[in-house]
Amino acid sequence: MKWTRLPRALPVLLALIGLFFVPSAHAWGCRGHQTVAYLAEKHLTPAARQMLDQLLSDHPIDPQLKRWCGNSLSDSFADAATWPDDVRAERNNGPWHYIDIPRDKHGGPLAEFCGPDGCVTRAISEQFAILKDKSADSAKRAEAARYIIHFVGDLHQPLHAVNNGDNGGNCVPVKFFRHEPLLAARHPETESYSPNLHQVWDTEIVERDMEISSPQRFADELDEKFRAQIRSWQDAGIHVENWAWESHERAERAAYGAFPKKISIEPNVKPVTCAENNHIGKRMFDLRLVIDDAYQHQAENAVDESLAAAGIRLAMILNDAAK
């Protein structure tokens, strides 16, 4: 459940829900985000490497901060990849992690889908401007680096660039192999289920794909597998909005469109709970969607390409910021 999609106008409800529910899913989970970072590191220029080493070591992450992904990694760059999820609640900037592009939209400017509290494409641009400004406060630049390392990963999680009246798939219960979707036991009235489509794209599909690879090793594998495409991603340059559309189309093709059963286009709303939008949670549950070997196999192709592109593009942005 990614309750950070709730409107900011409902902080009390958010706080209450936060008390009762399991911790929210984090885009790409820990190992996915770390993979993106390790891959990017392999493509940094010496100038970017030096700038980031300096900023991240001068302004380390607060050792008191509770880290969702466990003890901090010795590699401060990869460690940065998961930090924005650790401070998302206290900074109240959940909307920076995604952009709600309606499922039936297929191009054009993204500004209309970026809410008053921001979105991932705008957050990347804003943090890039801070990082690039050598006269800006260095603590702020270190934060900007950590945000960018995370958000470029988030942008490439297809379910972070789409909404189908279902909070980016959070209200779409799925059976994941042998695991049936279960209703949130303490708040059945929310019609929230786990596993759901958003959650499995954040974490379970990636974990199954990586098998026993460490994020570092998986980054090496992706670097090898996508050798031919890496050049074309680099040649295409930095176009954050295009990347969002690419992620959006990937969600349509590999996440929503890959079930034998058709998921219809929903009204463009953002339900506070999955009971809204005419009981979207229950209606989607009744579709009895299943993620099996066939779905997983095609999803892995999409995940691999997304993670690889994210790593390469992250390096491009950071290299540019260091120029």
The answer to whether 303 contacts Zn ion (rule: CB under 5 A) is no
**Binding positions for Zn ion, 96-125, rule CB under 5 A:** 97
Which residue, 69 or 318, has its beta carbon nearer to Zn ion? 69
Nearest residue to 100 via CA among 170, 12, 204? 170
CB of 98 to Zn ion, least distance (A): 8
The stretch near Zn ion (CB under 5 A) out of 72-80, 153-161, 264-272, 280-288 is: 153-161
3-state secondary structure of 289: coil
Q: Rounded CA gap, 79 and 65, in Å?
A: 13
CB of 150 to Zn ion, least distance (A): 6
Which residue, 29 or 281, has its beta carbon nearer to Zn ion? 29
The answer to whether 314 contacts Zn ion (rule: CB under 5 A) is no
Specify which residues 196 forms β-bridges with. Answer: 173
3-state secondary structure of 248: helix
> Pairing state of beta strands 175-176 and 193-194?
unpaired
Position 20, amino acid: F
The answer to whether 154 contacts Zn ion (rule: CB under 5 A) is yes
Residues that contact Zn ion, how many (by CB under 5 A)? 4
**Binding positions for Zn ion, 76-95, rule CB under 5 A:** 85
Q: Rounded CA gap, 111 and 119, in Å?
A: 9
CB of 44 to Zn ion, least distance (A): 22
Q: Rounded CA gap, 184 and 199, in Å?
A: 14
The answer to whether 27 contacts Zn ion (rule: CB under 5 A) is yes
Interacting residues toward Zn ion by CB under 5 A: 27, 85, 97, 154
